[in-house]
Structure 1
């Protein structure tokens, strides 16, 4: 059994950012497909900007995102800072604010999750 926390920090401004997103979602899907694994998928920092695009059915990454959406959560503070709080709320995604308005990475480490950032 593996425990992985995949954190998407990359924004959506460059071709390489799209590559990081695709790799993060593929990695998350691999964990999600294994019933013995535990997955936390967190959109944090500039990574919160992906939510409106990924929720759009026309997005090239929508289907891949849908495969892991149930495991996804979004940084509460950063969704506001990057102007996507309405899209996050409309999507019904869980927001995380355990540490100063942000997800608690320490608690994930304490729970023996491997932290993987993209």
Structure 2
């Protein structure tokens, strides 16, 4: 049994960012598919920009995203800072604002989650 928090920080600007996103989604999917594992998938910072793109059914990685969407949340502050708040709200993805508008990494550590960033 493992507790993992996969945090996507990569933006949408480069091929390298896309690679980090896909690696993060694949890691999240592996935890989600393993019985007994707990997963939190968090899009934070520039990573919040991926939500409207991945919600698009024509996106190359839409199906991979859908495989872990139930475990997905986004930083409340960052969806506004990166101007995707309407798209995130329309998608129904929950936002986290545990620590000054951001997800609480400390709470995840306190709950014995391994933090893995992409």
Q: How many equivalent residue pairs?
A: 118
TM-score normalized by the length of structure 2: 0.99
List alignment gaps of at least 5 residues for structure 2: none
Aligned-partner Cα distance in 2 for 1:13–1:106: 29
Q: CA RMSD in A?
A: 0.4
Q: Which residue of 2 is the match for residue 90 of structure 1?
A: 90
Aligned-partner Cα distance in 2 for 1:69–1:87: 15
List alignment gaps of at least 5 residues for structure 1: none
What pairs with 1:1-118 in structure 2 (closer than 5 Å)?
1-118=1-118
Shift of 1:35: 2.0
Task: Give CA deviations for 1:39-66 in whole Å, capped at 9, x if unaligned.
Answer: 0000000000000000000000100000
Aligned-partner Cα distance in 2 for 1:35–1:79: 31
Task: Give CA deviations for 1:81-115 in whole Å, capped at 9, x if unaligned.
Answer: 00000010001011000000000000000000000
TM-score normalized by the length of structure 1: 0.99
Moved over 4 A (4+): none
